[in-house]
């Protein structure tokens, strides 16, 4: 863990680490698992500060509609990482979103 990061950021990173290879979750799912759906933007900001893969697999977090969202190394790199893990991406969207999504309940309970 990085000593200079806030408790909130650490909690976001810890939840992100629970997303296994071949699965994705959403900024909103992480926010809800943290206790407030309004934290979604703060979750994105926390992931922007992450040390990245493999320490924090922030490439596994996408928008609630299945679209890829941002990535500090660029969308092409995020898509490449997701595809390498078996995620189907078409037109910047996770095609098999409903079958590979880890929900807030699953994040909070694991």
Catalogue the active-site residues: 58
The DSSP bridge partners found for residue 89 are: 94
Report the C-alpha gap between 51 and 109 in whole angstroms.
25
Phi, psi of 24 (to 5 degrees): -135, 160
Phi, psi of 94 (to 5 degrees): -75, 110
């Amino acid at each position: 863990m990085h000593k200079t990061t806030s408790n909130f950021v650490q909690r976001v990173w810890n939840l992100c680490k629970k997303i296994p290879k071949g699965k994705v979750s959403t900024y909103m799912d992480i926010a809800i698992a943290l206790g407030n759906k309004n934290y979604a933007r703060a979750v994105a900001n926390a992931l922007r500060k992450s040390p990245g893969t493999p320490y924090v697999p922030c490439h596994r977090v996408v928008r609630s509609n299945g679209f890829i969202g941002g990535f500090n190394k660029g969308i092409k790199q995020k898509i490449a990482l997701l595809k390498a893990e078996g995620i189907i991406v078409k037109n910047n969207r996770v095609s098999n979103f409903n079958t590979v999504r880890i929900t807030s309940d699953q994040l909070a309970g694991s």
